[in-house]
Amino acid sequence: MAITISKKKVATHNKNKTTPKTPEKITPFIDRMTVGVNYEPNDLSADIHSNIWTQTNDTSVFAAVKPGGSYKRAWRIKLNAAVQIKHFPVMRYRYAEGCAARLSLTFSPHDLGPKGLEELHAVLVSIVPQGWGSIVEDGQVTMLEVSIDLPGIPIGNCHPLMQQTTVVKSWSTGGKLETLLFGKKSGNQTRMYDRGQKRKSKKQAWPHGETTRIERVLRGQHLPIQQLPELANLFAGMNFIDLPPKPPPSEPEQKHYIWYMFCDAVSVRGLPAALKLLPADTYRKRYRAWLAQHPQAWWKPDAIWTEWKPMIEKHKLSSTNWI
């Protein structure tokens, strides 16, 4: 039986659709990062080992946690600037024959802020020469999570048109899209989710309006910390489109219903997952070309990334001058 879609109803639906507010300024921030330093067996690494063994006895600063992996010891570092326990930096440590072998730190510069980084530096001074400055000189970033928030933009209005086929997962509740995930957990990933809904699911208050967070997660990195300001734009390869209310002009009228069914799938599954439902050589190819002609006006990755270096400098993340 043929399915008929009323053009009048579709037109009314799009006419009444609320246009999301365009964010005035979008600033990238580091939500989480892991840095590590390897040490050769020598007098310096022996001193570091001795310092760690002594300083970590102070339970008012160091709280022992499970090390994980090849590490032998791990602690949470209690900082006054950390509002919650989960914001305490985690220090993991491996040693051999009385010498430090590897020291790593996982923390959120965004949650700690510049003041928290100064506190962390003060703790590290008692362990390694020059504190955070020494970590910067000798260390590498192994994991990096860079995020941006889109206030006033609901995730239902974020339609990423990915440049290549990738692993896509989506979660929705009551037919409303909440989370999009691209990539494998073992590699680099992109996550998009409704911040308010995430807070509410944890029974936490969310006094702000609809906000979408986009996270770019890089794993298995070997980036010298001093090169962090020169990191290439992590959002340059992302494109967001304004979902057109009508199908491509070349689409036969009797096939318009497929477009409207596709739009319904987008609202529940997200654009990438909805595209994967279409035959690759026919509808998917045509729809992708049509969608690419409707970029979102508020998405300007180059402008977003101009805030990257000032953010790094504000936190002194790549600075060796911590005197």
**Would you list the DSSP string of 148-188?**
EEEET--GGG--B--SS---EEEEEETTEEEEEEES-TTS-
Residue 149 has pLDDT above 90, yes or no: yes
Judge contact between 178 and 44, C-beta under 8 A. Answer: no
Q: Measuring CA to CA, how many Å separate 152 from each of 22, 157, 194, 203, 296?
A: 7, 10, 11, 22, 14
Q: In angstroms, how far is the first alpha carbon of the chain from the final one?
A: 77
Residue 12 has pLDDT above 70, yes or no: no
Average pLDDT along the chain: 87
Q: Which of 16-20, 57-61, 144-148, 319-323 has the lowest mean pLDDT?
A: 16-20
* 292 vs 152, higher pLDDT: 292
pLDDT at residue number 208:
67
Q: Which of 127-131, 170-174, 253-257 has the lowest mean pLDDT?
A: 170-174
Q: What average pLDDT does this structure show over 245-270?
A: 92
Question: Percent of the chain having pLDDT more than 90?
Answer: 67
Residue 14 DSSP SS3? helix
Res. 13 pLDDT band, cuts 50 70 90: very low
Res. 10 pLDDT band, cuts 50 70 90: very low
Res. 181 pLDDT band, cuts 50 70 90: confident
Judge contact between 103 and 36, C-beta under 8 A. Answer: yes
pLDDT at residue number 14:
43
Tokens of 69: 């992996």
Q: What average pLDDT does this structure show over 293-298?
A: 93
Residue 24 has pLDDT above 70, yes or no: no
Closest CA to 109 of 89, 127, 126: 89
Q: How far apart are CA 21 and CA 191, in angstroms?
A: 22
Residue 138 has pLDDT above 70, yes or no: yes
pLDDT at residue number 6:
41
Q: What is the reported pTM? A: 0.85
Q: Which of 107-111, 169-173, 236-240 has the lowest mean pLDDT?
A: 169-173
pLDDT at residue number 62:
97
**Residue position matching structure tokens 């799938």:** 265
Tokens of 127: 């362990």
Res. 2 pLDDT band, cuts 50 70 90: very low
* 200 vs 263, higher pLDDT: 263
Res. 43 pLDDT band, cuts 50 70 90: very high
Q: What average pLDDT does this structure show over 59-71?
A: 95
Q: What average pLDDT does this structure show over 39-64?
A: 97
Judge contact between 166 and 177, C-beta under 8 A. Answer: no
Report helix angle 109-124 to 308-315, nearest 10: 30
Q: What's the number of CA atoms in the CB half-sphere (13 Å) around residue 100?
A: 22
pLDDT at residue number 7:
41
Q: Which of 46-55, 187-196, 215-224, 251-260 has the lowest mean pLDDT?
A: 187-196
Res. 207 pLDDT band, cuts 50 70 90: low
Res. 72 pLDDT band, cuts 50 70 90: very high
Residue 120 has pLDDT above 80, yes or no: yes
* 10 vs 309, higher pLDDT: 309
Residue 258 DSSP SS3? helix
* 197 vs 118, higher pLDDT: 118
Q: How far apart are CA 228 and CA 107, in angstroms?
A: 16
